[in-house]
Each structure stands twice: as C-alpha cells, then as structure tokens.
Amino acid sequence: MTTTRERIVHASFDVFDNLDFHKATIREIAKRSGIAPASIYKHFASKDDLVMAITNEKTKQMITELNEHFIGVRGTMNKLRKMTWYYLYFYENNPQVSWVVNISTSVKSWRESSDGWKNVRQTGQTFMGILREGQKLGDVRQDINIFVMSNIYFGGLARLVQIWLVHNQSYSLTALADDFAETIFAAVRTPTE
Amino acid sequence: MTTTRERIVHASFDVFDNLDFHKATIREIAKRSGIAPASIYKHFASKDDLVMAITNEKTKQMITELNEHFIGVRGTMNKLRKMTWYYLYFYENNPQVSWVVNISTSVKSWRESSDGWKNVRQTGQTFMGILREGQKLGDVRQDINIFVMSNIYFGGLARLVQIWLVHNQSYSLTALADDFAETIFAAVRTPTE
Amino acid sequence: MTTTRERIVHASFDVFDNLDFHKATIREIAKRSGIAPASIYKHFASKDDLVMAITNEKTKQMITELNEHFIGVRGTMNKLRKMTWYYLYFYENNPQVSWVVNISTSVKSWRESSDGWKNVRQTGQTFMGILREGQKLGDVRQDINIFVMSNIYFGGLARLVQIWLVHNQSYSLTALADDFAETIFAAVRTPTE
Amino acid sequence: MTTTRERIVHASFDVFDNLDFHKATIREIAKRSGIAPASIYKHFASKDDLVMAITNEKTKQMITELNEHFIGVRGTMNKLRKMTWYYLYFYENNPQVSWVVNISTSVKSWRESSDGWKNVRQTGQTFMGILREGQKLGDVRQDINIFVMSNIYFGGLARLVQIWLVHNQSYSLTALADDFAETIFAAVRTPTE
DNA sequence: GATGAATGAGCCTTCATTCAT
DNA sequence: AATGAATGAAGGCTCATTCAT
C-alpha cells in the first residue's frame, strides 16, 4: 500500500530527475503524482520543506545502507573501497538526489534544516572515522589534514557524479570506484620504505 | 571610467553573491547597477547570455593569469602548488564566480556555450599537462587514472570553495593551498623504495 | 449564475469593444472582469486561445441561429433577405465580435485555428447554397462568378458593420438589410425580358 | 536622389508587407531603412504619425493616378470597369497599404487624421459620381441606395484584396476586375424590358 | 541632421500558495 | 483527507520614445 505522501515523494524524485531544475515545479509534481497541488500542502509545509524532506529521507537511507555494507569489512583500504563503491552505487541508482541537493535547494535554507546538515556531517564522520582508524592501525599517515582530505574525497565524488550526469549517465559510475578509492588511499597511506 | 556594461557585470556578481540564486533576477541586477532592465538587454541578449558572458569573462581572465604565474616554475610539485594556490586565490577574490558557474547556470545551456566549455577544458588540460610532464620526469606514477585524478582535483577544490562560501568566507582559503597540493601529490607520486 | 469563464468572456468583449485594440490586454480583461490575470490562464491557455475561443463561440452561435431563422423560408430573394437581416442583426447586437474577428486576431494564427476557419467557410457555404439553389430555380443567372459574388456580399456586409462601428453605432444597422439584399439580388437575378 | 524621409517610407511599406503586424516595429523599420530609430523621430512625430503619413501619401497617389486613368473614358460601365481595375491594380502593386489601413492604424486615431479621412471620402465620391452620372444618362436605376451600394462596392473590393493577401498573393487580382465590375453594374443598371 | 545609449511603461505568462467546499 | 478555483507577486523581455553628443 502506498500512502499519498509516498506518491508525492516518488513523483518528486521523478521530476527532479530531468536535470532541468527550472521545470521542477509543484504543479509538475502534482501532475505526475496524481495528487492535487493543494493536497501536497497537506503533507508538506512548503516547497522547500518538500525538497528537504525527500533529500533527508534519501540521505538517511543512504547512511543506513552504508552501515549495513560495512558489516564485516576490515582494513582501511577495504572500507575505503566499500564506501566509495556504495556512494557511487547510490547515486548511480538515485541520480536525482545529487541534483536536488546541489541545485534545487537554496543553500541557505538547507543549512537551516538541522536534519539535512546532520546527515551530511554524519557521512563525513564515517569517512573521517575510517581515516582515524587507519591512523591507529598505522595504515594512514599521521600528518594528513583531515579537513582537506575529507573535502577532496567528497568533492571528488560529487564531481564524478556531476560529470556523469552531464554526460547523460552514459557510462558506469561504479566502475570508477576502485580507481577512486585507490587514489585516495595513495594520498593518505603511510609511505613504505 | 566605468562603462555601462562594466556596471552591469559588477552588479551581476554582486547579485549572484547572495548565495540564494532564486533572487538573481534581471530586476535586481538593474536595481543594484542603477541601469534599467531594458538597457541591460542592449548589452546582453538574454539573461542566460549575461550569465554566460560574465562567467566566461572571468574564466578567461583566470586562465591568462594562471599562465603568467606559471612562468619560471619548474617541478611537478611546484607547479601543482602554484596552480592550487592560484585557483584558491582566484575564488577567494572572486567568490561570486564560483556560484555563478556552479549553481546559477543551467548546466544544459552552459554546455551549449562553446566558450564556457572550452575554458573549462583548458583548465583541465593544464592540470593533466602537469601530470603527464611529471610522468616523463619520473615524479608521477604511470598507472594513475587521469580522468579520476582530474575529477578528484577539481572536485576537491570546488568543494573547498563551496564550504568556505557556506561558512561565510570566515577563514583564509589560500592557507589551505599547500596541504591540498601536497595531498594530491601524495596520491600521484612515484613510490619511493 | 455566471461562471468565471463567462465573466472573462464577457469582459473580453467589453475590452475589445474599445475599438482601440492596442488596449486589449490580459490585464485590462482581468481588471474589468474582476478576475486575476493568473486565473484567466486557468480557463484559457493563452491570449490567442482566449481570442479564438470567444470568436468561435460567437460564430458557432451565429450559424446555429441563422439556420433556425431559415426554417420555412422559401425563395431566393426571401432567403437572401433573411440571411442579410440576420447577419446585420447579429452584429448590431454583438458589435464587439466584428472587431475581434476583423482586427484583433492575427490573421495567421486565426487561419491555423481549424474551428475559426471552418465556421467562416460554413457561412460562406450557406450563401453560395442560396445562389446555387437560385440557379436551379431559374432565379439566378448561370454566368455569375460565385467567388467574386461571395466576396462582394460578405465584404459589403463587413464594410457596412465597420462603418457603423466607426460612426459609434449611431443608427440602425438592420434597417439597411432590405436595400442590401435587394441590391445583391439585382446583381444576380436572371434578367427579365 | 533619395531623401532620408523617402528611405523611411520605403522601409515602412516593406515592414508592413509582412502581414504579421506584430512585427511592424519602429526598430524593424529602422533596421531595414538603415536609419536609426532616433532619426525617424526627426521626420515623424510618432509611430502613428508615420503610419498615417505613409498611407495618406499612397492614397493621394492613388487618387491622382485614378483621375489620369479616367481621362477619355466614357460610359458608366467603362468607368466602373476602369475604376475597379485600377483599384485592384493598385493593391496588387501595393499590397502593404491595405494592411496598414485595415490593421495597423488604430481606427480611432485614423479618423482623427483629417487627411486620411478626406482621401477616403474622395475615393468614395468618385464612385458615387459615376453612379450619379449614370443615373443622368439613364444607365443606372434611380431607386438605388447609394450609401449601401457604395459600401458594397468598396467592401467587396477590400474583401477581395484581403482574401488575396491571406492566400499569399498567389493569383492575379486584376484578372477579377471585369467580373467584379460587371456584377456591380448588374446591380445598378436600369432593367431592360 | 543623425545617432548611440538609455529608459519607463507595460506585456504575457508562471509560480507557490490559500481557502471554501 | 482531498481538491477545484483563485490569486498576489514576480519574472523575462520588448516597445515607442527621449536626449546628450
């Protein structure tokens, strides 16, 4: 059984999926969901609220699933590979989310959404956790700038997704996961001598 | 003496600087520049044209200046450091450009602007050039995935700029240049044994 | 009870009645109908659509009523008189329609409206039908140029209406029907000898 | 030697010839004449003034030439044929004028132009003159309604021109002159018995 | 006499949103 | 809970027109 709310959320992703975010209107969502515009406002306070709700929902799902994938994985490199793969896998299967996050939401109001920010921080924490653990294990250099490293990682991933979207998703995104993870690992690993 | 066109361009950056790109309207630009909306259309064919024109202008300037900074610089790491520093320096001094490029322009129409795309490719070429030269010199590993590496580099930089903007430019961006360049270099350099 | 749509249509005629069609704007129609511009677009897809819709509506009505008036009328001259009278009667009571049809609508888009053109052709057919029937009855000459005759008839009527409008509808239009019909009949009747 | 004014007038006809009168803008006239918009205002007080001026000019020319063509023509039918031919000939060679007169000029302001109205009346007088002369000669019935007849004549001609324009001037207009004149004559001639 | 540059007014249209039912 | 009907606000853009040079 699909609730009305679910139908709205589903249609929203559908709408944001077409890359041209000027077309991402409430009326379009209403049309595709078969729910009247006025009814959408019974479930979401405003358009911004809707956008935030659906991105948060997806991000939460992402975090949950990522944790599941982590179960039993050991070793810095393995975790890095797993996380990278999952990230790309997620966007390969939810290309809209990236656009919603990057484009549609006004950054200002997004920051004001505690939930949204919290989720992003949490994903960031996971990455930093891997690095810190690696430092303890001796895999990762002690002198890395974690802030910079983290931005390189997520910025690089985001760029990869963006380019892939601009190229109309014409190639496999997950196929790049290994190279990506290895490059990042090369940047952080303790030099062998 | 400032020409009308310059005043429009100046006001445009001012407007896009808001971060809330929904407010980036022709009327707002008109208000801040003291130029009537109708007059703006004497200088730019459309809003899209205006956005493209100003970003291209800045990007071209960026490329020119970057090349000047390269004069006399030798060594892979030195070039990497220089390029990174200049990139961050440029956005530190033109924070608006980042938003215009990353947010405001509809990706579709931007790709259709041969100039815009050409400039981006050119910047990309510069980075790849450094890597290839490094490979010849033996500084850089032969087995790196240049496509992935390039996206890590520019994605990382862009993210750094974005975070800095979101944090209201409250710290020095260029101060991160060295750490950034070194991290990237670590990821590509030939392992010492 | 008047529906919103009816109020819009009514106000539209009111507006076009101005004679100065440059003033026939959506805003003006909105003002006079007490309906917001945005609401007008819920009932008509565009301004052109509105113009077409209202003229077609009226023209259809005209055709229907004309046919009713024809019931039981026999003889070429009688039919001619009836048709002429009704045509002038209609415009005397709907003076705006003439302007909308003749002036406001861009001829190009009007021709593209199958409905509009169809209705006009139908009215033309009715006139030609009378002539052909008259020819069978022997009332009407065989050697008339029906194309020319038809244009004389409708052109003459239209001119009569226009002049009447320009003279601010200061006299009776239907009072001219008999003279008009007789003149036309004189032009087509079989010479008596 | 062509004066600036002449170039403007020439370009204006060119522009109005488009049939799509929404495109008949001052800027378009400026572009085609090679004269700057501002300069046009040195020669004509306003757009309305320009439109009026050019139509009056053409109409005056029409009257002059028509009178020349009348020289030596005798007999009601001959005069009718000549006038009709010339009228169609004129519009066949100046199709724009019809549109300017019928469409572009706001009827209100056109009536206010004494010149425009005077010229139209004068053409009307010529036609009525032929009829009255015919009545004296015994060719034309005494009991015709001259007002109605006149409108039938000019309305019919105008309609013929309009239809011809709508059909993209794809056939000869003057070829219809004889049939037209004869039809009109049939409507007014004294019945033979 | 000619014009480049500028503009106020206004156009059609669309959007997110509300409210009576 | 759902919606049809309505709208204020705003957006991009164009036009006839002016004026300093």
Which CATH number do you get for residue B10?
1.10.10.60
pLDDT number for residue B56: 82
Q: DSSP states of D89-132 as a string?
A: HHHHH-HHHHHIIIIIS-HHHHHH-HHHHHHHHHHHHHHHHHHH
What angle is formed at CA C59 by the lines to CA C53 and CA C65, rounded to 5 degrees?
135
Residue C154 lies in a domain: yes
pLDDT number for residue B106: 46
pLDDT at D111 over 60: no
pLDDT number for residue C186: 94
| Distance of D55 CA from F21 C1′ (whole Å) | 34
Contact A91, A161 (CB under 8 A): yes
What is the rounded distance in angstroms from the CA atom of residue C96 to the CA atom of residue D96? 26
Count of domains observed in chain C: 2
What is the rounded distance in angstroms from the CA atom of residue A125 to the CA atom of residue A130? 9
DSSP SS3 for C70: helix
Contact C80, C130 (CB under 8 A): yes
Q: Which range among A128-132, C46-50, D32-36, D42-46 shows the weakest confidence by mean pLDDT? A: C46-50
What is the rounded distance in angstroms from the CA atom of residue B189 to the CA atom of residue C167? 92
And the tokens for C134? 């008259």
Residue D147 lies in a domain: yes
C38 and C52 both lie in a single domain: no
Q: Using the structure block, give the residue that is written with the tokens 């940047």.
A: A187
Mean pLDDT of the region D163-176: 85
Q: Which chains touch D (3 or more CB pairs under 8 A)?
A: C
pLDDT number for residue D144: 92
Q: Using the structure block, give the residue that is written with the tokens 């008189």.
A: C81
Q: Burial, D170: exposed, middle or buried (Cβ in 10 Å; 0-12, 13-18, 19+)?
A: exposed
| Distance of D109 CA from E13 C1′ (whole Å) | 30
B164 and B175 both lie in a single domain: yes
What is the rounded distance in angstroms from the CA atom of residue A120 to the CA atom of residue A95? 17
Average pLDDT, chain B: 84
pLDDT at A46 over 60: yes
Task: Give the rounded distance of the alpha carbon of C173 from its chain centre.
Answer: 14
pLDDT number for residue B93: 82
A140 and A79 both lie in a single domain: yes
CB B48 under 7 Å to nucleic chain F: yes
> pLDDT grade, residue A106 (50/70/90)?
very low
Residue B193 lies in a domain: no
And the tokens for A72? 């039993």
Residue D162 lies in a domain: yes
Residue of D nearest to C21 (CA): D106
DSSP SS3 for C189: strand
B118 and B55 both lie in a single domain: yes
DSSP SS3 for B6: helix
pLDDT number for residue C49: 87
Contact C154, C72 (CB under 8 A): no
Mean pLDDT of the region A66-71: 92
Q: Dmax of chain A from CA atoms?
A: 67
pLDDT at D165 over 70: yes
The pLDDT tens digits for B73-89 are 999 999 999 999 999 99
Task: Give the rounded distance of the alpha carbon of A52 from its chain centre.
Answer: 13
B89 and B112 both lie in a single domain: yes
Contact C26, C37 (CB under 8 A): yes
Mean pLDDT of the region B47-65: 85
pLDDT at D56 over 90: no
What is the rounded distance in angstroms from the CA atom of residue A70 to the CA atom of residue C91? 81
Residue C193 lies in a domain: no
pLDDT number for residue A153: 96
The better pLDDT of the pair D8, B54 is held by D8
Residues, chain D: 193
pLDDT number for residue A96: 66
Comparing CB atoms, the residue among D19, D145, D163 nearest residue C151 is D163
What is the rounded distance in angstroms from the CA atom of residue A147 to the CA atom of residue C138? 102
B115 and B152 both lie in a single domain: yes
Q: Which residues of A touch B145 (CB under 8 A)?
A: 176, 179, 183
What is the rounded distance in angstroms from the CA atom of residue A91 to the CA atom of residue A111? 21
What is the rounded distance in angstroms from the CA atom of residue D66 to the CA atom of residue D120? 13
Mean pLDDT of the region A92-109: 60
Protein-proximal nucleotides of chain F (any atom < 7 Å from a CB): 1-20
* CB count in 10 Å sphere of residue B48: 16
D91 contacts: CB under 8 Å, gap ≥ 6: D97, D98, D161, D164, D173
D38 and D90 both lie in a single domain: no
Q: Which residues of A touch B103 (CB under 8 A)?
A: 102-103
pLDDT at D168 over 80: no
CB B38 under 7 Å to nucleic chain F: yes
Q: Burial, D131: exposed, middle or buried (Cβ in 10 Å; 0-12, 13-18, 19+)?
A: buried
The better pLDDT of the pair B106, A44 is held by A44
Average pLDDT, chain A: 84
Q: Which range among A46-60, A121-135, B94-108, C114-128 shows the weakest confidence by mean pLDDT? A: B94-108
C-alpha Rg value of chain C to the nearest Å: 19
| Bridge partners (DSSP) listed for residue D140 | D189
C108, D19: Cβ pair inside 8 Å? yes
Side-chain-side CA neighbours of A112 within 13 Å: the count stands at 7
A111 and A16 both lie in a single domain: no
CB B18 under 7 Å to nucleic chain F: no
What is the rounded distance in angstroms from the CA atom of residue C18 to the CA atom of residue B188? 77
Q: Burial, B193: exposed, middle or buried (Cβ in 10 Å; 0-12, 13-18, 19+)?
A: exposed
And the tokens for B180? 């950034």
CATH of the domain at A135: 1.10.357.10
Closest by CA position to D181, among listed D165, D164, D160, D166: D160
pLDDT at A90 over 50: yes
Closest by CA position to C167, among listed C175, C159, C179: C159
- In Å, how far are A6, B121, B180 from B157, measured between CA atoms? 37, 16, 8
Closest by CA position to C52, among listed C1, C112, C121, C94: C112
| Distance of D45 CA from E8 C1′ (whole Å) | 19
DSSP SS3 for A24: coil
pLDDT number for residue B98: 66
The better pLDDT of the pair A79, C48 is held by A79
The pLDDT tens digits for A1-24 are 578 888 998 888 878 766 566 778
H-run or E-run covering C173: none
| Distance of D21 CA from E20 C1′ (whole Å) | 45
Contact B166, A107 (CB under 8 A): yes
The DSSP call for residue D139 is S
pLDDT number for residue D106: 46
Percent of chain B whose predicted confidence (pLDDT) is above 70: 83
pLDDT number for residue A19: 54
pLDDT at B40 over 50: yes
Q: DSSP states of A59-107 as a string?
A: HHHHHHHHHHHHTT--SHHHHHHHHHHHHHHHHHH-HHHHHIIIIIS-H
Mean pLDDT of the region D93-99: 70
Contact B148, B156 (CB under 8 A): no
pTM over the 0.85 mark: no
D191, C192: Cβ pair inside 8 Å? yes
Strand F contact residues in chain A (30-49), C-beta within 7 Å = 34-39, 41-43
D111 contacts: CB under 8 Å, gap ≥ 6: C166, D117
And the tokens for B120? 């981006």
D121 contacts: CB under 8 Å, gap ≥ 6: none
C151 contacts: CB under 8 Å, gap ≥ 6: D156, D159, D160, D163
Q: Which residues of C touch D188 (CB under 8 A)?
A: 183, 186
Task: Give the rounded distance of the alpha carbon of B128 from its chain centre.
Answer: 16
Q: DSSP states of B113-155 as a string?
A: -HHHHHHHHHHHHHHHHHHHHHHHHTSB-TT--HHHHHHHHHH
pLDDT at D105 over 60: no
Residue D89 lies in a domain: yes
Residue B15 lies in a domain: yes
A1 and A75 both lie in a single domain: no
pLDDT at D19 over 80: no
Q: Dmax of chain B from CA atoms?
A: 67
D18 and D103 both lie in a single domain: no
Average pLDDT, chain D: 84
Contact B126, A38 (CB under 8 A): no
The most confident of A97-101, A160-164, C180-184, D101-105, by mean pLDDT: C180-184
Side-chain-side CA neighbours of C23 within 13 Å: the count stands at 14
pLDDT number for residue C121: 75
Q: Mean pLDDT by 10-residue block, N- to C-terminus, for chain C (193 residues)? A: 85 74 85 94 91 82 90 93 94 73 50 60 88 94 93 91 79 95 94 70
Closest by CA position to C159, among listed C86, C105, C98, C100: C98
A16 and A109 both lie in a single domain: no
Contact A55, A97 (CB under 8 A): yes
Closest by CA position to B166, among listed B158, B154, B178, B175: B158
Instruction: Show which of A44, A60, A75 is a domain's final residue.
Output: A44
Mean pLDDT of the region D106-131: 70
Q: Which residues of C touch D157 (CB under 8 A)?
A: 155
Residue A90 lies in a domain: yes
Domain interval for residue C143: 47-188
Contact D86, D150 (CB under 8 A): no
C59 and C26 both lie in a single domain: no
